[in-house]
Structure 1
Amino acid sequence: MSVKSNTVNTVLGPVPPEELGVALVHEALLSVVPGAEHAFDVTIDRAEIFETLAAKLRDFRAHGGGTIVDSTGMFHGRDLRLYETLSRTTGVHIVASTGQGPQDMLGGYFLTPQTNPPTPWPAEKFADLFTKEVTEGMVVPRVERRGAAGLVATAATPTGMTATDESLFRGAARTALSTGVAVSLRYGSDAVHDLDVVLDEKLPAGRVVVGGLDREDAIAAGAPLEIARRGAYIALDHVGVADRPHIADAERAALVADLVRAGFGHRILLSSGATGVAKGHPGNDLPYSYVLTTFVPLLTEQGLSDEDVRRILVANPRDLLSVR
């Protein structure tokens, strides 16, 4: 499977970046806590799941949406055949991701359990795992590989990056370097530190998006501005979520406006982290259209122009997701 430069890997194959339209870079379609599919009290009715997701994607499209990035990685419910059918049916582009993390969401297989104590996989093993999902296709367990991953998504342990998390981050960076797709990382306790781990692999900052930067701790540390200065993308990806540790939408809109005025409008990405269907956890039931219907008016009130909004919702994700 060839990876074409200046295209975006969607579940239906590569498309020109100009076709993406409004793109949300950190959402979830079917989100399943690993192992929940085997629980006695969890039902996986694919027909019902399809209808629920199709309705949400049609609503997104009806409000001007074009592309959803499912940034949940490899083992959290990713269902490629389902996503292909959803994309064909609704007309919404879907970008699926490879990657894993944080450490406590990995199975023991990825911790080399035959050592005492268990040790993490080295970065090159994670890089090989993720790279094949871009160059050979994403795995459908025990059956086949299908479309190419369009992003490498990984996360660090909330209390701070572990040795396994560092291997994951370095492996993700190496995959991005060898394939041209970007890295989406969710930091643990120190956003700048976790970005630096990826940049230490010589990955250009412009190929990285740091998520979760609408958390109170990130803002208190000045992380959004510092990360933008380093050239990485900053994702405010809990739009519509007001529960701690995240700030409220009014504060998010003000933060976006401050960053635009500081000259970093080209580094901002928005998303709600919405969960279309959640199994084994509560999920986030916001509509995918929330950013467009509810948050964009707040940006307008802050003085952002239509050009500013289009750059954030169309141009920035297009540039991030383009294979380079």
Structure 2
Amino acid sequence: MSVSSNTVHTVLGPVPAEELGVVAVHEALLSVVPGAEYAFDVTLDRAGIFETLAAKLRDFRAHGGGTVVDSTGMFHGRDVRLYEALSRATGVHLVASTGQGPEELVGGYFLTPQTNPPTPWPAEKFADLFTKEITEGMVVPRVERRGAAGLVAVAATREGMTATDESLFRGAARTALSAGVAVSLRHGDDAVHDLGVVLDEKLPADRVVVGGLDRRDAAESGAPLEVARRGAYVALDHVGTEDEAHLGDAERAALVGDLVSAGFGDRVLLSSGATGVAKGHAGNDLPYSHVLTTFVPRLKAQGLSDEDARRILVANPRALLSVR
């Protein structure tokens, strides 16, 4: 599938990057814990799921949103046909992702030893799996391939990167190099180390976004500034979450100000990590519009310029998601 350098893979096909508008870069549409669809107490009412998601996407658009990135990867409820219908019905561009992780949520097939003595699935096999979802289209299980994935999303084990996580990260980096998309990574216990793994594959830093940098442990370690210094994008993607594990919005806003003041306004991305519909877990029920309705006004009240706000909401995600 040949795509020019200023286009982005959406579920309805390539879209000129300048048409994305305001982008929510780290959200979830339908999020299903692997296996939950088989649980006796979990229902998947397709019509109800569609209506719930459509209402949330229309709200996002009504508040100025243009594009939502579903960064959940494979096997977590991703439903390409549903997303196609939602995009057509709401006018919101939807970018879906390939990728997997962390290890505890990787399917047993991908944990089956491939060698003797046993080793994790090699990075090259993950790269082949992910690359085909971009060059041939995302898999609709046992049916067909449809629209191309727009990025590779991988996550490391919270307590620290495992050998399987490392294979996933290296496979994601190789996919990004060959297919021209970006890598979205959620770090384990050391964001700078985990970024280093994908950079070790010679992937340019500006093709990487590190999520979860508004986790308190990451912020207090200085990771956001160091990630930006290395040239990768800093995603503060729990906007609206107020708990012990994360910065509150007041602290997030201060962190945005610090990054912009340090000259890294071109490396900041914002999102809420909202879950449109969650099955098998609690999810995060914030509206996709939360950043626009609540957090951006806070940033502007503390002095963020309109130009910097537009850079963070529009220009930065456009650059990240453009295929090149």
Report TM bin, short chain.
over 0.9
- In the other structure, the counterpart of 1:243 is 243
Whole-angstrom CA distance in 2 between matches of 1:114 and 1:66: 43
Q: Which amino acid aligns with 2:125?
A: K
Three-state SS of the structure 2 residue aligned to 1:29 is: strand
Contact 1:3/1:134 (8 A) holds in 2: no
- Cα drift, residue 106 of structure 1: 0.8
Counting only pairs closer than 5 Å after superposition, residues 227-242 of structure 1 correspond to structure 2 as 227-242=227-242
- In the other structure, the counterpart of 2:33 is 33
- Cα drift, residue 249 of structure 1: 0.2
- In the other structure, the counterpart of 1:128 is 128
- In the other structure, the counterpart of 1:313 is 313
Contact 2:113/2:121 (8 A) holds in 1: no
- In the other structure, the counterpart of 2:112 is 112
Counting only pairs closer than 5 Å after superposition, residues 1-324 of structure 1 correspond to structure 2 as 1-113=1-113, 118-324=118-324
Contact 1:133/1:148 (8 A) holds in 2: yes
Three-state SS of the structure 2 residue aligned to 1:318 is: helix
Three-state SS of the structure 1 residue aligned to 2:319 is: helix
Contact 1:33/1:279 (8 A) holds in 2: yes
In the TM superposition, what whole-angstrom CA distance separates every residue of 1:238-289 from its partner, at most 9, and x where no partner exists?
0000112101000000100111011000000000000000000000000000
Q: Which amino acid aligns with 1:71?
A: S
Contact 2:114/2:120 (8 A) holds in 1: no
Structure 2 unmatched runs, 5+: none
- Cα drift, residue 4 of structure 1: 3.7
Q: Which amino acid aligns with 2:147?
A: G
In the TM superposition, what whole-angstrom CA distance separates every residue of 1:179-216 from its partner, at most 9, and x where no partner exists?
10000000000000000000000000000000000011
Q: Which amino acid aligns with 1:78?
A: R
Whole-angstrom CA distance in 1 between matches of 2:114 and 2:174: 26
In the TM superposition, what whole-angstrom CA distance separates every residue of 1:210-231 from its partner, at most 9, and x where no partner exists?
0000011111110000010000
Whole-angstrom CA distance in 1 between matches of 2:198 and 2:245: 25
In the TM superposition, what whole-angstrom CA distance separates every residue of 1:265-323 from its partner, at most 9, and x where no partner exists?
00000000000000000000000000000000110122001111000000000000000
Q: Which amino acid aligns with 1:136?
A: E
Whole-angstrom CA distance in 2 between matches of 1:114 and 1:196: 26
- Cα drift, residue 116 of structure 1: 7.4
Contact 1:8/1:16 (8 A) holds in 2: yes
Identical amino acids, percent of aligned pairs: 85
- Cα drift, residue 118 of structure 1: 5.0
Contact 2:23/2:68 (8 A) holds in 1: yes
In the TM superposition, what whole-angstrom CA distance separates every residue of 1:91-128 from its partner, at most 9, and x where no partner exists?
00000000000000011111124767753100000000
Whole-angstrom CA distance in 2 between matches of 1:237 and 1:148: 24
| Equivalent pairs, count | 324
Three-state SS of the structure 1 residue aligned to 2:251 is: helix
Whole-angstrom CA distance in 1 between matches of 2:108 and 2:76: 16
TM-score, length-normalised on structure 2?
Answer: 0.98
Whole-angstrom CA distance in 2 between matches of 1:155 and 1:294: 28
Contact 1:4/1:14 (8 A) holds in 2: no
Three-state SS of the structure 2 residue aligned to 1:256 is: helix
Contact 1:131/1:179 (8 A) holds in 2: yes
Q: Which amino acid aligns with 1:259?
A: L
Three-state SS of the structure 2 residue aligned to 1:277 is: strand
Contact 2:114/2:121 (8 A) holds in 1: no
- Cα drift, residue 157 of structure 1: 0.2
- Cα drift, residue 3 of structure 1: 3.9
Structure 1 unmatched runs, 5+: none
Aligned-residue Cα RMSD (Å) equals 1.0
Whole-angstrom CA distance in 1 between matches of 2:75 and 2:212: 21
Contact 2:33/2:279 (8 A) holds in 1: yes
Q: Which amino acid aligns with 2:276?
A: G
